[in-house]
Amino acid sequence: MSNRIYNILFHTHTISGIFISLALYVIFFAGSFSFFRDEINSWERNEPLAAGWKLEEMDFDRVLDSLKTKDSLINRDITFNQYYNEQRLSLNISPPKNNKPKESGRRRRGTFKYLNTQDLNTYDYKSSYSIGEFLYRLHFFAQLNFFGRSGYLLAGIVAFFFLFAVVTGVLVHWKKIISNFFMFRPKASVKNLWTDAHTALGILGLPYQFIFALTGVYLIVGLTIMSPAIVKFIYEDSTEKAYDDFGFNSPEYEFSRKAMSNEFSVNSFLYETKKKWPEFEIRSTEIFNYGDQNMHIEFKGKANFDTKFASAGSITYKVATGEVVSEKNPFKEVSYLDGARAVIQRLHFGDFGGIAVKLIYFILGIVTCFVIISGVMIWLVARDKKSVSPAKRKFNAWLVWFYLAGCLSMYPVTAFTFLMVKLGLQDPGMERVSFIFQTYFWSWLLLTLIFTFLKNNALTNKWTLILGGAIGLMVPIANGLVTGNWLWISWSNGYKDILLIDAFWLLSSIGTLIIGLKTSLQKPVPAKAGKMVPA
């Protein structure tokens, strides 16, 4: 590689990294917690995953009987989807198919709810909102969707530049990628210290970072940003045709307007499916034309990851005759589109290896956060020279003060929000969305401003660790006081999901408290003197 190409790659790597650094840190920090979205929701709602929480274990006949007491289900399509491993699943009920349009030309809207598989209580989106959902959506900036898909657009841009930064970083360090990995000079200059840490940890997490850069571009850019353009220009504004080609649309079954003449049981078709494919994980059940003579039931899902890593399958029955009208075997027939989509989603969400894979993903996500911070500190130290004008050095200093304050404050802010959610959201009538938004964003803004104006990166690092550790220690205590599920009780009852969250905050808080208390502070040098204290 010539010096000119090397310099071009080096500078583009640096510029792309600095440009997205703060947003990328938020994505990885919030995304790391999102791996435990299901466990966080179980902990927050005090709804542990006991026997019967899975869709395939649910008593459909009992659930449908319960729903019929609240509203008629006749001539409707009913869909149960279990996207996450939690007691609540999503329930969609279409309007009656014999419903005539009103004078305005509009039909009645369908119903969307969350259904608890244990007690059959239903919730709307706002009453079911949680800190787990908030952090999951924060990692692709869904909260910024004030104007269309502005949040998704920002996340897509960041994902694209991150992929670019990963590729250029590999090319820049290619010749010395092995030797630099084993190089660590803690007693050398500050720049060398940050450079060694950045390179070593960057190489260690390289496969992880590349996977998330690539899958992030696909999931954000491909599905949420490019999809409207694809529909408009390739499919000539025909959303239905695009959804058919990509396999998103459900099949259509004609409404016969004749009531079902014989008794039927959804459970019997469920048992038949599980008998046919014992290793089939049912994630969606759709009932077409409920109570009509042309009623159909479709079960969708995938093979257990122990059996097949990437798969997608479905089976559809005609209820009147009991015959199978369509079948996609998840253990044999996996199309290129289904396989590619399944691989990308499994790699991105880490749902193929249980808690162990989630913990590994979480640790690598936090390592990536450190890689991002170290890259910014390299940028600052490299520009803190006498050859740089005082005005530029002061601007760089303020920029990094703000950057580190915003990034490092996320730890105590997240711990504080967990604590407040457990203490302040026990009343089911409370407005959950605004409570979580205000708690998180106002405390984040406050800490960011405080640490920015303290103008000391080392102090910011030390006190965010101490604050996060101190508040985090109160999280399992608050859970025990409010719900009675102390760590030893969760252990004895087998509430692994609730135990995991309490144990996480206990262990991580103790660790960060020890690190924070042992971190020494140096006396900061004023920005005008041109020498900043690194974190």
pLDDT tens, residue by residue, 147-180:
667 788 888 888 888 888 888 877 776 666 666 6
- How do the residues of the chain divide into helix, strand and coil, expressed in percent and rounded to 5? 60, 10, 30
Task: Using a pLDDT cut of 90, give the percent of the chain over it.
Answer: 41
Looking at per-residue pLDDT, the higher value among 185 and 510 belongs to 510
Q: What local confidence, expressed as pLDDT, does residue 533 receive? A: 46
Looking at per-residue pLDDT, the higher value among 10 and 287 belongs to 287
Task: Give the range among 302-316, 331-345, 363-377 with minimum mean pLDDT.
Answer: 331-345
Looking at per-residue pLDDT, the higher value among 221 and 122 belongs to 122
pLDDT at 526 exceeding the cut of 70: no
pLDDT at 231 exceeding the cut of 70: no
Angle between helices 390-408 and 354-382 in degrees, nearest 10: 160
Cβ burial of 70 (10 Å; 0-12, 13-18, 19+) is exposed
If you average pLDDT over residues 14-28, what whole number do you get? 83
Q: Which of 256, 273, 253, 282 is nearest to 56 (CA)?
A: 282
How many angstroms separate the first and last alpha carbons of the chain? Answer: 34
The owner of tokens 């900043």 is: 532
Distance CA 519, CA 168 (A): 34
Angle (nearest 5°) at CA 14 between 13 and 17: 85
pLDDT tens, residue by residue, 289-324:
998 899 999 999 988 877 888 888 899 999 999 999
The residues near 112 (Cβ < 8 Å, ≥ 6 apart) are: 90, 91, 92, 93, 124, 125
pLDDT at 104 exceeding the cut of 50: no
Element (H, E) at 218: none
Query: What are the start-end ranges of the E strands in 435-520?
Result: none
Element (H, E) at 288: strand 280-288
- Most distant pair of Cα atoms in the chain: their distance: 89
pLDDT tens, residue by residue, 375-412:
888 878 777 777 788 888 888 889 889 999 999 999 99
Q: Which of 517, 496, 509 is nearest to 469 (CA)?
A: 509
Distance CA 300, CA 304 (A): 13
pLDDT at 256 exceeding the cut of 90: no
Classified as helix, coil or strand, 2 is coil
Supply the pTM of this predicted model. Answer: 0.85
pLDDT at 77 exceeding the cut of 70: yes
Give 182-203 as a DSSP string: T---TTS-HHHHHHHHHHHHHH
User: And the tokens for 431?
Assistant: 């407005």
Q: What local confidence, expressed as pLDDT, does residue 500 receive? A: 95
Q: What local confidence, expressed as pLDDT, does residue 242 receive? A: 59
Reported confidence tier of residue 227, pLDDT bands at 50, 70, 90: low
Buried b (16+ CB within 10 A) or exposed e, 384-414: beeeeeeeebbebbeebbbbbbbbbbbbbbb
Cβ burial of 186 (10 Å; 0-12, 13-18, 19+) is exposed
Q: What is the DSSP letter of 443?
A: H
Ranges of H-type helices in 148-234: 150-173, 177-181, 190-204, 206-216, 226-233
Q: What local confidence, expressed as pLDDT, does residue 1 receive? A: 63
Return mean pLDDT, the chain.
Answer: 83
10 Å Cβ neighbour count for 128? Answer: 19
Reported confidence tier of residue 188, pLDDT bands at 50, 70, 90: low
